[in-house]
């Protein structure tokens, strides 16, 4: 499965594959999607990263035009960030690329086989999540 995903990602030639944006930066974009004016402190806490690390990732996202960073009108000390239309467009393109990948990968698989595969994946995911919770590693982040 991993080799299939790698092949499909390289086929798409997207921002992730070309090294323009890294996975942690994608997590920041996903966190910001659908939210307005998030405090940098809250973003760092939600993604379990240091503020200095987030600042570096955010600098690149601002440079790419995917994120807008600004000071709060209420508290000038608070730095806020929100995703831009270009950032939303990027996420939309990424989701569409994933849909195309799944269609190519499963285009020749019957509906019954897809249901069986999905049930197996759900069991594996539930088991992994239960194990992570037992180990104290509760998963953070959002799936796109």
> Mind spelling out the 3-state secondary structure of 18-87?
CCCCCHHHHHHHHHHCCCCCEEHHHHHHHCCCCHHHHHHHHHHHHHHCCEEEEECCCCCCCEEEEECHHH
Cα 23 → chain centroid: 7
What pLDDT score does 23 carry? 86
Sheet holding 38-39, edge to edge: 38-39, 79-83, 67-71
What rounded mean pLDDT belongs to the chain?
Answer: 84
Tens digit of pLDDT for each residue in 95-107? 888 888 888 888 8
Question: To the nearest whole percent, how much of the chain has pLDDT over 70?
Answer: 81
What pLDDT score does 6 carry? 67
What pLDDT score does 143 carry? 45
Question: Distance from first CA to last CA of the chain, Å, rounded?
Answer: 18
Mean pLDDT for 38-44 is 93
**Going by C-beta distance under 8 Å and a sequence separation of 6 or more, which residues neighbour residue 114?**
106
pLDDT value at 51 more than 70: yes
What pLDDT score does 11 carry? 60
Q: How confident is the model at residue 65 (pLDDT cuts 50, 70, 90)?
A: very high
């Amino acid at each position: 499965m991993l080799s299939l995903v790698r092949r499909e990602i390289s086929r798409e030639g997207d921002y992730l594959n070309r090294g323009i944006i890294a996975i942690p930066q994608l997590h920041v974009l996903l966190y910001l999607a659908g939210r307005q004016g998030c405090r940098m402190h809250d973003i760092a806490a939600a993604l379990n990263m240091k503020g200095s690390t987030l600042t570096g990732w955010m600098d690149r996202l601002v440079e790419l035009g995917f994120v807008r960073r600004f000071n709060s009108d209420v508290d000038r000390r608070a730095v806020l960030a929100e995703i831009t239309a270009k950032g939303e467009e990027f996420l939309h393109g990424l989701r569409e690329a994933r849909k195309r990948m799944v269609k190519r990968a499963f285009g020749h698989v019957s509906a019954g086989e897809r249901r069986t595969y999905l049930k197996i994946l759900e069991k594996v995911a539930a088991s992994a999540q239960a194990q992570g919770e037992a180990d104290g590693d509760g998963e953070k982040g959002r799936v796109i």
